[in-house]
Amino acid sequence: MIKLVLLIIFYFAFPAVIIYLCKKWSFLQKLGSIVLAYGFGLLIGSSGLLPQGSSGYKLALHGKGSLPKVEVESLITQGKATENDVFVNQIATVQDIIPSLVVPLAFPLLLFSLNLKRWLRYARKGLISVVLALFSGLVMVSAGFFIWKDSIPESWKLAGMFEGIYAGGTPNFVAIKMALNVDANLFVIVSTYDMIVGAFLVLFFITVAPRIFRFILPPFEVSKGIRGEEAEILSQTENLEDYSGMFKKGVFLPLLGALGISVLIFAFSGGLALLLHNLPMMVVVILSITTLGLLLSLLKSINRIEKTFQLGMYLILVFSLIVASMANIRTMFGIGMMNLILFITWCYFGSLILHLILAKIFRIDADNFLITSAAFIFSPPFVPLVANALKNKDVIITGITGGIIGYIVGNYMGVALAYFLKGF
């Protein structure tokens, strides 16, 4: 029991170590805390630090995360499992329960700090590019599904997750994983490949992409720049990964209140899911918390609470660490590796190319095209990095707005697309 308690403490405390490492070393900050959480989780899962179940216990799982205590005891009585499997099953139960709790709590917190009306006010001319980017992602992810649906396991679920991550980002990716009940091993494999392909895209965006797209698309029309409230928005976005000051007296208590509101949203969504018992439970829960989180962000008393986004991301780090620790890197690369990489590459580069074609047709300038593409592919925290490569701060607000819209619609689009494609 003590070992189990220590493991739970580790899962919730180690993300703080990851944040500290990112703050201390700039090269780790560039990798990102999410990548590090997956990396450390994979290291734990592959190193043998966590006990492995017997072959009889694993066979009894049938793809489930864990077994009821009574069923494990029955297996032991029949000689199909060992006493060690009791502890293995307890760990698996913890690894099942915590992710199913932290993600529904995290997503409202991520949305509370959004001020969509303000951001829309400063990004009108880039909204056409935002719409084109959303359309491009939807088309190319769907096309990828039809190309690889017979060669990739649970391809309809993967299509939904990739629509979510393309439109929004990692939080949407995680939320849709929960909504669609994607296998943990498959999720970690896809996440790993996604990071590999994404790394090449980041390098492309900050090096040769500005020159290439400025040759193809019209030039950006210079405006008067960022001033006043726009500068405040930029400052807030650049501080999205700043976790300092969360325990200050004037910050901690309101933040605790925000967490309490998130718990109430989760409880209400769970009750709604029970009422709508004909629909998949986690789908109802995830879409309900997204809707309620967005609506409550319109209330100034909630919207002004500091560090809600950071607390939400901390819970996403806890999720990432736990899920990755459930996988074993020595076995994870044998499941259709090439097809998965091709599918992911198609989704990213295919969406980018279609968006480029549409931008040419609708005469979107190169800088607005590139910044909205970056916002959807990488999410808002990457927008200032790409704007710096463009040497153009005027497009930052457009990029941030696009990314925020993606956060909001990503869950809806991902779940809807998955269930639409499931019928094919």
How far is residue 115 from each of residues 110, 120, 279, 401, measured CA to CA in Å?
A: 12, 9, 31, 10
pLDDT in tens, the chain (424 residues): 788 889 999 999 999 999 999 888 887 877 778 778 888 888 888 887 888 878 778 777 765 667 788 888 887 888 777 888 888 888 888 888 898 889 889 888 988 887 766 666 656 657 888 889 899 999 999 999 999 998 888 899 999 999 988 887 777 888 898 889 887 777 877 877 777 787 778 778 878 888 999 999 998 876 555 555 555 555 555 566 778 888 888 889 999 999 999 999 999 999 998 898 787 787 888 889 888 988 898 898 998 898 898 898 899 889 888 888 887 766 655 555 788 888 988 998 999 999 999 999 999 999 889 988 888 877 766 776 787 788 777 777 778 778 878 888 888 999 999 999 998 8
Gap between the Cα atoms of 294 and 286, Å rounded? 12
Residues 59 and 151 reside in one and the same domain: no
How far is residue 19 from each of residues 13, 40, 186, 248, 249, measured CA to CA in Å?
A: 11, 13, 26, 18, 21
Please report the pLDDT score of residue 360 as a whole number. 93
Q: From 74, 98, 122, give the residue that closes a domain.
A: 98
How far is residue 68 from each of residues 63, 89, 109, 213, measured CA to CA in Å?
A: 14, 8, 32, 56
Residues 94 and 106 reside in one and the same domain: no
Please report the pLDDT score of residue 214 as a whole number. 92
Please report the pLDDT score of residue 124 as a whole number. 63
Count the Cβ atoms, other than its own, within 10 Å of residue 185: 17
Domain total in the chain: 2
Residues 53 and 126 reside in one and the same domain: no
On whether the CB atoms of residues 140 and 286 are closer than 8 A, the answer is no
H or E element, residue 116: helix 116-121
Tokens representing residue 28 in the block: 């780790």
Please report the pLDDT score of residue 248 as a whole number. 86
Print burial letters for 2-17: b (CB count within 10 Å at least 16), e (below 16). Answer: eeeeebeeebbebbee
Q: From 78, 98, 118, give the residue that closes a domain.
A: 98
Parent domain of 331 = 102-422
Closest CA to 370 of 220, 196, 169, 164: 220
Query: Which residue matches tokens 């040497």?
Result: 391
Residues 168 and 286 reside in one and the same domain: yes
The DSSP secondary-structure symbol of 32 reads -
Q: From 57, 74, 98, give the residue that closes a domain.
A: 98
Residues 193 and 338 reside in one and the same domain: yes
Q: Reduced to 3 DSSP states, what percent helix, strand and coil does the chain have, rounded to the nearest 5?
A: 80, 0, 20
Biggest alpha carbon–alpha carbon distance for the chain: 77
Residues 401 and 365 reside in one and the same domain: yes
Closest CA to 111 of 286, 398, 314, 303: 303
Closest CA to 110 of 288, 275, 247, 307: 307
On whether the CB atoms of residues 63 and 181 are closer than 8 A, the answer is no
Gap between the Cα atoms of 347 and 73, Å rounded? 46
Gap between the Cα atoms of 86 and 88, Å rounded? 5
Residues 122 and 270 reside in one and the same domain: yes
Please report the pLDDT score of residue 332 as a whole number. 58
Residues 263 and 388 reside in one and the same domain: yes
Residues 341 and 374 reside in one and the same domain: yes
Residues 91 and 112 reside in one and the same domain: no
Residues 217 and 249 reside in one and the same domain: yes
For the purposes of burial, counting CB atoms within 10 Å of the CB of 194, is it exposed (0-12), middle (13-18) or buried (19 or more)? Answer: buried
Please report the pLDDT score of residue 118 as a whole number. 65
Tokens representing residue 90 in the block: 């307890």
- Spatial CB neighbours of 277, under 8 Å, sequence gap ≥ 6: none
Residues 345 and 326 reside in one and the same domain: yes
